[in-house]
Structure 1
Amino acid sequence: MRKRAARTSGAPGLKAREGVGRLGAEDPPRASPAAPQERLNRFLARAGVASRRAADALIASGSVRVNGTRPPASGMVIDPDKDRVMVDGRLVRPPTTHRHLMLNKPLGVITTARDESSRTTVLDIVGEEGMGGHRLFPVGRLDADSTGLLLLTDDGQLAYRLTHPRYKVPKEYEVVVAGVPTSRDLRMLREGVQLDDGMSAPAEVELVRATTGDRDSGRAELRVVIREGRHRQVRRMVQAVGHKVQSLRRTAYGPLRLGRLKTGGWRVLSSGEITALRRATGLDTE
């Protein structure tokens, strides 16, 4: 059964700067990308019928039917989820589909498939209903003391590209820190800071709102976007400029946003969202 605990509001006492909403406000819903379509020859190649070039020859020879109709020799675009494709009278089934979930990870939950200390894991949260008969695993990590958007999948190739720094997939965080960062602090975070495992890459850092306190006594919320994923990276970056993270929530991963998904809630990604992820990692062009 799904667990959908209501998310508590953000930390009190922070005043919004001009044009900025209240702390902890939910991200507005965004329209999902359009349902995916693909070239017929690519579909046949993915289904293992033939290479793309050989698939073109099959289409030109008249061996292929789409919804009972012979497609043009030049090929066509189909909807793999709806169109019925046959080759020499045999139905071509869509390639084995993977399962992809978005979870709004609660505080204290471990980002792993199983935990030797019997602590609650992200797979415990989604349960058998979320797994849907697939062997899902988390994409990257969110620390136990971090919350927000976490992807679960059984697509190893997609997960690899989403987490490898070569593909520079952006991850966005809402970070509440002790003290109000100065302009110099923000510049250092944007340009890169020295960590124990090397310099951090340039990041997008925005001061969203702050209390009336100073660098030591106040509190502030930052919007941070990074394109690498080292262990506890955002926390270490903030610490490197003399501040401490009080709360950290991931609000976006590549083209996906957490939106109104409640803490502990999960949902299956739409076909359009999966296509957007593949495009973001270059898989849709191969």
Structure 2
Amino acid sequence: MERLQKVIARAGIASRRKAEELIKEGKVKVNGQIVTELGVKVTSNDKVEVDEVPIDKEEPVYFILYKPSGVISSVSDDKGRKVVTDFFPMIPQRIFPIGRLDYDTSGIILLTNDGEFSNLLQHPKYEIDKEYIAKVKGIPTKEQLRKLERGIVLEDGKTAPAQVKMISLDKKKNTAIIRLVIHEGRNRQVKRMLEAIGTPVMKLKRERYAFLDLSGLTAGDARELSPHEVKQLRAMASAKPR
């Protein structure tokens, strides 16, 4: 038996904390009965509904979105700001983002209603590359870039080695464009890494997630992943860690 909020979270409906809120608000039913207590446990034979929809009845769907800057990587925002799910008004499934991009960061983000798939892609032991292009203030030295390549100590520990390349620089404006490939997913990681070497980020874009890129998409565009792409991602996330 598992706690109800954990079952809801694993199904990808909401985070565990949000699932607890849904339970308290009387929006969750178990075997047809509204449940408002957090200690309830359920089995795989129990019928769990959130907002009258059984959590295991939706057909799994998988999307890639070119997230514009100024959009929240969430399904809702208490401040009324635009969220990534606003770009899918015709999708009946309750999709959610896999991981997140900062409000002012643009680029690739994946969305699904498949909680198992989301958890698999985000598991820290699987090293799925994410490529970022950053415009930074200041022009980093070769030694500063080597620090990123070796791994740099942040307040939450040392980062894994990164692939780093300076694409261009502007001496007059004292700025540079840097390509950075990492496989971790810590909060604000790329920004914190670049701040740590003294070159704060002015603009950031995620251009690649595993083998997926932004080809054919402009900011705000989305498309459904092909079955083959989903299979490839699942295989990558299930492969033996490096």
- TM-score by structure 2 length? 0.73
Please say if 1:134 is aligned against 2:90: no
Q: For residue 173 of structure 1, what is the aligned residue in structure 2?
A: 132
Please say if 1:156 is aligned against 2:118: no
| Cα distance between partner residues in 1 of 2:84 and 2:71 | 6
Alignment of 1:74-223 (within 5 A): 97-127=59-89, 129=90, 131=91, 133-213=92-172, 218-223=174-179
The number of residues matched between the two structures is: 183
| Cα distance between partner residues in 1 of 2:74 and 2:202 | 23
Summarize deviations over 1:148-206 as a string: whole Å, max 9, x none.
00100011111112112111111111111111110011000111111111111111111
Pair member with larger Rg: 1
Whether contact under 8 Å (2:134, 2:201) holds in the other structure is: yes
Amino acid at match of 2:61: R
Amino acid at match of 2:81: R
Amino acid at match of 2:166: L
Summarize deviations over 1:115-143 as a string: whole Å, max 9, x none.
1111111111222x2x2x21101000100
| Cα distance between partner residues in 2 of 1:223 and 1:161 | 26
Whether contact under 8 Å (2:121, 2:234) holds in the other structure is: no
Whether contact under 8 Å (1:205, 1:222) holds in the other structure is: yes
Whether contact under 8 Å (1:193, 1:199) holds in the other structure is: yes
Summarize deviations over 1:21-76 as a string: whole Å, max 9, x none.
xxxxxxxxxxxxxxxxxxxxxxxxxxxxxxxxxxxxxxxxxxxxxxxxxxxxxxxx
Match of 2:218 among 216, 241, 262: 262
Which structure shows the bigger proportion of residues in strand conformation? Answer: 2
**Structure 1 residue 212: Cα displacement:** 3.0
**Structure 1 residue 96: Cα displacement:** 7.3
Whether contact under 8 Å (1:178, 1:243) holds in the other structure is: yes
The structure 1 segments of at least 4 consecutive aligned residues displaced by more than 4 Å after TM superposition are: none
Consecutive unaligned residues in structure 2, runs of 5 or more: 1-56
Q: For residue 233 of structure 2, what is the aligned residue in structure 1?
A: 277
| Cα distance between partner residues in 2 of 1:140 and 1:187 | 27
Whether contact under 8 Å (1:210, 1:221) holds in the other structure is: yes
Q: For residue 247 of structure 1, what is the aligned residue in structure 2?
A: 203
**Bigger relative contact order, structure 1 or 2 (CA pairs below 8 A, ≥6 apart):** 1
- TM-score by structure 1 length? 0.62
RMSD: 1.6
**Structure 1 residue 109: Cα displacement:** 0.5
Whether contact under 8 Å (2:134, 2:178) holds in the other structure is: yes
Whether contact under 8 Å (2:58, 2:93) holds in the other structure is: no
Amino acid at match of 1:172: E
Amino acid at match of 1:167: Y
Q: For residue 29 of structure 2, what is the aligned residue in structure 1?
A: none
